[in-house]
Structure 1
Amino acid sequence: MDTIISYLNNMFATLPKSDQMLKLKQDLLASMEEKYYELKMDGKSENEAVGIVISEFGNIDELTSELGIMPEVEEEWSPMLADDEVEGFMAAKRKSGLWIGIGVALVLTGVALLIFITTSFEIGMLGGRFSEDAANMFGLIAMLLFIVPAIAMFIYSGMKLEKYKYLKSEFTLPYHLKAYVQQKQEAFASTYTLSLIMGVCLCVVSPAAIFVGSAFSEAAASLGVVVLLEIVAVAVFLFVYYGNIKDSFSILLQTGDYSKAKKEEDRVIGGVAAIIWPLATCIFLISGLVFQQWHINWIVFPITAILFGMFSGAYNIFKSKGRS
């Protein structure tokens, strides 16, 4: 009989908790209980009696349909953002973009310094005071001195945004805050466009340093790589810093790359990026430190960027076709 009671409770769990439902449940339980004991008197086993009772009285859908009763549907709850949360998130995003942009620039500067020191040894700028191994060691140490604080900046910026991780899920933005964020987004649009143009132009002209250096010597071409990396560092800072500010508006308004449809795509693409870029960096360092290919191994980064862009584009097209 306990099985029948549990089954009945589960059937009424999604129905409104009204007096009508309570009376219906009690009447149905009384009928099921009467039928159960009748079957037991006829010599039916426990399992047989329970099975027959459930089969005869277990269809609650027909009964509720006749009575015009609809099951209760739980609405998804999403937090309502307050003014201080919105302001705090936009400020945290801006500071995060600053720290990450500086961190990436430091990493590129560290790599550029490593190339500069090793190349300076090869062309005799160090005056023959150090051996090749010592020069490589000094270059590696110099690079690490730039990379270590960059890693600290990455961690710090991530911790600052940790308190706002709930914005990755669903939330509600009040109308007055939505209008406020839209106004700031429109005012920032021209600044972002200018930063994007400057960053792209810097990336386009950066290889000129290598072309000019290669016209003189192979060592000068390596020094051109140093100049290229520094120009790219400035461009990346512009992309990251101003891009983070733009993203703060898109996240709050849940538009563009932060719409519901794009969130799933970003998780997949972000997972691939977390693998491919560290792998590209390892290839760059190994080919330079072990095989001394500093003059050409820089090409691993543009190749990685092209391949990653192709993957992202193909994945987005595939997902778009799947939704259509």
Structure 2
Amino acid sequence: METIKNYLETMFANMPNTPEVKKAKAELLSMMEDKFNEMIADGVNENQAVGTVIAEFGNLDELAEDLGLTKELKETHEREESKPRRFLRMEEIEDYLNVMKGNGLLIGIGVLLCITSVTWPILFEFLLRGEVGDGLGVTGMFISIAVAVALFVFAGIRGNDWKFLDKELCQIDMSTADMVKAKKKAFKVPHAVMIAVAIMLFILWIPTAAIDIDIVSNCLFYFVGAGVCMIIYATTVMGSYEKVLKLNDSKTISGNYGKDEDDIVYVNKFAEGVMEVYWPTVTCLYLIISFITMDWHITWLIWVIGAILRRLLNVVLAAEED
């Protein structure tokens, strides 16, 4: 029976996501289930029953008039011809997710190296006084930056093969969407933990700054660098899941594949875009304000205000349910 349901989803994947189409889809599923159960009751084996049901009900062009979907089917065919979508197999999506996971780590480490590069002169000045220490410190700083740039370039090359996702219309099937949703759900806890640990590392600068020793103050850059690295990795991985789940046309039945029950649908694309960059923006503001004012014992309140403001925006920008 699962095979029949999957086949039905494929049949209706590009149909408009309207109440009429949903009703017709439910009616057709009911007819297919009745036929399947009837054949099983008559002693027909499951594979043969599935094949017969698909052969009898599996052509939407023939059933459109009976289901009252003639107009919708015509519009679907016209849209498919004028704006064809590239179908991505599950294996391709898995490759993309693996690339983005690796790129999140590469970019995160690169940013960490950039932030901590300034610690080398201080470290070598503490260990080796004089010109030797100064020379090694500057050398260490430039080596860190060079390695970081190499990581950025490598990540960019790895991601070049997937730039078409931003330029072409693409589509995935329900089984692929279910796989990605499962990965996204499994990553929610690690994502939350990494964000929380990153914030904790930012706040740890306060006791470090109280110790008036250069070598200890260096820890600030390692705390901030590690925190930013975690945020970049966590948001890159989560962002890749969300991007894949939004590949399908939101106005079609397949647009429902990537939605969870607790997902919020926003009033328009602009509102959706604003909420997608909300937490990265809050993070940037937190770091900028904290470094400018050096009031780290106060600026942590930005996270509290940010959480409250996000809840308010979710209420204001959420689309009304049908």
Taking structure 1 as the reference length, what is the TM-score of the superposition? 0.51
User: Are 2:125 and 1:119 equivalent residues in the alignment?
Assistant: no
Please name the residue that 1:95 is paired with.
Answer: 99
Query: Which residue in the other structure is 2:114 paired with?
Result: 110
* Pairwise CA distance, 1:189: 4.5
Tell me the equivalent position of 1:64: none
Partners of 2:264 and 2:318 within 8 A in 1 = no
State the Cα distance separating 1:199 from its structure 2 match: 0.3
Deviation of 1:152 (Å)? 0.7
Q: Residue 79 of structure 2 aligns to a residue in which SS?
A: coil
Structure 2 unaligned spans of 5+: 1-70, 248-256
Query: Which of 234, 248, 251 matches 2:246?
Result: 251
- Note the alpha carbon deviations across 1:300-321, whole angstroms, 9 max, x for none: x989999998998887666448
CA distance in structure 2 between the aligned counterparts of 1:284 and 1:156, rounded to whole angstroms? 34
1:96, 1:244 within 8 Å by CA — same for their partners in 2?
A: no
The runs of 5 or more residues in structure 1 that have no matched partner are: 1-69, 288-292
Could you say which residue in structure 1 is the equivalent of 2:149?
A: 148
Distance 1:101 1:235, change over 3 A: same
| Cα deviation, residue 145, structure 1 | 1.0
Q: Distance in 1 between matches of 2:308 and 2:189?
A: 26
- Which residue is equivalent to 2:60? none
Matched, 1:229 2:224: yes
**In the aligned structure 2, how far is the partner of 1:138 from the partner of 1:304?**
37
Aligned to 1:76: 79
1:129 to 103, 128, 131: 131
CA distance in 1, matches of 2:182, 2:278: 34
Number of equivalent positions: 236
Q: Distance in 2 between matches of 1:227 and 1:214?
A: 13
Q: Quick one: which amino acid aligns to residue 203 of structure 1?
A: A
1:246-279 C-alpha deviation (Å, 9 max, x unpaired)? 2255224453789785643455678999999999
Contact 2:184 2:238 survives alignment (8 Å): no
Q: Look at both structures and tell me which one has the larger radius of gyration over its CA atoms.
A: 1
2:122 counterpart letter in structure 1:
T
- The Cα of 1:227 is off from its aligned counterpart by 2.8
Alignment of 1:151-166 (within 5 A): 151-166=152-167
- How many angstroms apart in 1 are the aligned matches of 2:268 and 2:159? 21
Contact 1:209–1:227 (8 Å) recurs in 2: no
Equivalent of 2:183, from 185, 188, 204?
188
Task: Tell me: higher relative CO, structure 1 or 2? Use CA pairs within 8 A at least 6 residues apart.
Answer: 2
Aligned identity (percent) is 10
Shift of 1:151: 2.7
Aligned to 2:201: 206
The alignment yields a C-alpha RMSD, in angstroms, of 5.0
TM-score when normalising by structure 2: 0.51
| Cα distance, 1:95 vs structure 2 | 0.4
**SS of 1:164's equivalent?**
helix
